[in-house]
Structure 1
Amino acid sequence: MGLFNRNKADSNKIGNLKILFTSDLHGSETAFRKFLNAALMVKADVLIIGGDLAGKSLVPIIELKDGKFKVENNLVGREGLEKIIKSYKSNGTYYTIVDEKGYEELSQNKKVLEEEFKRVMIERLEEWDRIAHEKLKDTKLVIYTNLGNDDPLYLFNVIKKSNRLVKTEDEVINLNGYEMISFGYVNPTPWKTPREMEEDDIYAHLKQMVEKIDNPRKAIFNLHAPPFGSNLDNAPLLDNNLKPVVRGGEMVFTHVGSKAVRKIEEEYVPLIGLHGHIHESRGFDKVNNTLVINPGSNYNAGMLQAAYIVLENDRVKSHQFIIG
């Protein structure tokens, strides 16, 4: 891995570092490819994905006779199917091709549906690994990859076997003298996603991780949940039916980030906080004296939203958003 390894950092050796950070790709192959292209364009030293690799929906494609397919009540031929699959890969939608019997099984058997979701999630992440390996083959770059709250734990097994993806959660990663800790769980949400924790448990876990760091003030906190009460955690206020609240013709927003994340950043004042989770809240802010960043996400449009950050001599020299 060249300069970058999992050993404890030498506190006297702090170099320059160009980071490209993104999060919440949610199965969008197009956004992932753009992330790799952007990394090569800006000549990044480090690539980081902050979590939520998994897509959110699965569309069954029913294979009929005579080269026809039924997709969401539309009949298409093979050429039309190729265009639809390309669109699904771009916007993060999973798909599976089945016959009519297979469709009935998916519709009626929850266990069969869950197993198919698992299969396509693993398949797409393995494909991303192959794409990354080919795109980055002339470099020593790896992608430091965390899971988010929407990601089932079995995706860690794909990352562990990967050629280019490197697991970060529960590790202290040395990035040219800067230490990085990562955590993908978030405070409870109305959707009860796979990886949620109560605030007290998040704080206790983060505190244990921080205690493994030589110097938190020179560290990167790669935490999926953004700090509460910042520019990074504004989301629509929901009513009891999980519908956005609208007043005076405008949607009402509220803070939904983690109070534990805010507390740990206020106490230890890391060099920078990298966050995601709240797609509509792209922005940066200060917590105590720590710069915190959320690049936001527009994965379902096949767009990349990322942050390019330059660390130099123990400080954040510059940061900017990349959108495309």
Structure 2
Amino acid sequence: MPLFKRRGNNESVGGKNKTRILFTSDLHGSETAFRKFLNAGVMQKVDCLIIGGDIAGKSLVPIINKGNGYFVVEDREISGSSLNNVVAEFRKSGAYYAILSKAEHEELINNKKKLDELFHEKMKENLRSWVEIAQEKLKERRIPVFINLGNDDPSFLFQVIEESELMRKSEGNIIDIGGHEMISFGYVNPTPWRTPREMSEDELMYNLRGMTEKLERPEKAIFNFHAPPYNTSLDNAPLLSADLKPVVKGGDVVMTHVGSKAIRKIIEEYQPMLGIHGHIHESRAFDKIGRTVIINPGSEFNQGILHSTLILLEDGRVKGNQFIVG
């Protein structure tokens, strides 16, 4: 089980009566969506920003340098004057890129270890650039950014987060958010894609119970768990066939619930004040389990669109929440 500890008073954010939070998830490398998130936080005068996981991009695109000012990108030739536009689109969609010679490209195709190493370096490089962007955007108000990793994020990215002053690791810590304890966990129940951070429902329950037992007032807590609870408005996703294609009946995609049963059970048992979740991009919604308000802002990272939720805590309860998309 991950080491879990309580943060000191210097990690407390917000006031005891009113706290404004902006929450997002599943940015998947999109610098455009990340910048919008920071800007929205400043405009909304929030006390803290929370990213619920899946910050890493999903793809690495080679840009092959042909020489004489020409490049090949995804089987199309472009001039050097068009390169900046192509790179801007990659930053918007969350794709990583590497400018390579033809020989370097062929070597990567034939050497999976080197390809993986380059992919990991690009993940670190991109996240470090986000650290710099956050330092610049938030330097006046010093708004803390609490970051969780999701199921698609290699755990080594925590090391990059811990290099920052404003961007702080939430998983493994109890964070004071306006007098409310927040616990975070980025592992999810098994998926068809066998992503880096998955656990069985039994393993999830073991870890979740270990965290919740350390809470002083779980009924006032915030559960920042990447996977949404099972059988809610937050966990609807297309039903997949054996070859991982959406099942279509009568011209419509068949939807099914794919959230975590362990997370639902732990929410039912402890009834925290708030559950903030992500993971299922197409299931933007808020719902309730008993008295617990649960929220998934959804994601359209590949379009550079920010999906986030402004949450107001007041007098020990969720006073209101509003989806912010743009």
Q: TM-score category by the smaller chain?
A: over 0.9
Identity of aligned residues (%): 56
- Cα distance between partner residues in 2 of 1:130 and 1:78: 27
1:6 aligns with 2:45: no
1:150 aligns with 2:152: yes
Q: Distance in 1 between matches of 2:145 and 2:173?
A: 14
Take 1:45 and 1:142, find their aligned partners in 2: how far apart are those partners?
Answer: 8
Indicate the residue corresponding to 2:34 in structure 1: 32
C-alpha distance in structure 2 between counterparts of 1:241 and 1:163, whole Å: 44
Per the TM alignment, residue 170 of structure 1 is displaced from its structure 2 partner at its CA by 1.2
Instruction: Compute the displacement of 1:175 (Å).
Output: 1.5
Is it true that 1:93 corresponds to 2:95 in the alignment?
A: yes
- Deviation (angstroms), 1:313: 0.4
Query: 2:270 aligns to what?
Result: 268
Q: Which secondary structure does the structure 1 equivalent of 2:173 belong to?
A: coil
**Conserved 8 A contact 1:20-1:307:** yes
Tell me whether 1:312 sits opposite 2:314 in the alignment: yes
Segments of 5+ residues of structure 2 without an aligned counterpart are 1-5
What's the offset of the Cα at 1:289?
A: 1.2
* 8 A contact 1:266–1:287 mirrored in 2: yes
CA distance in 1, matches of 2:16, 2:166: 25
Aligned ranges 1:1-324 → 2 under 5 Å: 6-7=7-8, 14-324=16-326
Within 1, Cα distance between the matches of 2:145 and 2:268?
28
In structure 1, distance between residues paired with 2:166 and 2:112: 33
Native 8 Å contact 1:30 1:90 kept in 2? yes
Match of 2:67, SS state, is coil
Report the Cα distance in structure 2 between the residues aligned to 1:209 and 1:7, rounded to whole angstroms: 17
Unpaired runs of 5+ residues, structure 1, are none
- 1:96-119 deviations in whole A, cap 9, x for unaligned? 011011100111111011001001
SS of aligned partner of 2:77? strand
CA contact (8 A) 1:24 1:276 kept: yes
Per-residue deviation at 1:16?
A: 1.2
Q: Which amino acid aligns with 1:221?
A: F
For normalisation by structure 1, the TM-score amounts to: 0.96
Shift of 1:176: 2.3
**SS of equivalent to 2:62:** strand
In structure 1, how many angstroms separate the alpha carbons of the residues matched to 2:264 and 2:19? Answer: 25
Query: Could you say what the CA RMSD is over the residues aligned between the two structures, in angstroms?
Result: 1.3
Q: 1:307 & 1:164 partners in 2: Cα distance? A: 20
8 Å contact from structure 1 (residues 295, 305) kept in 2: yes
Deviations 1:261-293 (A, max 9, x none): 000000000000000000000001111210000
User: Which residue identity lines up with residue 7 of structure 1 in the other structure?
Assistant: G
Report the CA distance between 1:14 and its aligned residue. 3.5
Say which is worse superposed, 168-177 or 142-151, in terms of deviation.
168-177
CA contact (8 A) 2:142 2:166 kept: no
TM-aligned CA deviation for residue 211 of structure 1:
1.2
CA deviations on 1:199-248 (whole Å, 9 max, x unpaired) are: 01101101110111110011100000000000000000001111100000
CA deviation vs aligned residue, 1:136-187 (integer Å, no higher than 9, x gap): 0101211000000000011011011113210010100012211100000000
How many Å apart are 1:74 and its aligned residue?
A: 1.4
Tell me the secondary structure at the aligned position of residue 172 of structure 1: strand
Moved more, 65-74 or 200-209: 65-74
Aligned residues of 1:233 and 1:257 also touching (Cα < 8 A)? yes
Aligned equivalents of 1:170, 1:134: Cα separation in 2: 27
TM-score normalised by structure 2 residue count: 0.95
What do the CA deviations read for 1:6-41 (whole angstroms, capped 9, x no partner)? 23799xx93311000000000000000000010011
> What amino acid is aligned across from residue 135 of structure 2 in structure 1?
H
Aligned 8 A contact 1:7 1:172 in 2:
no
Aligned to 2:3: none
- Deviation, 1:130, is 0.3
User: What count of residue pairs does the alignment treat as equivalent?
Assistant: 318
Paired residue secondary structure (1:285): strand
Whole-Å separation in 1 of the counterparts to 2:196 and 2:67 = 39
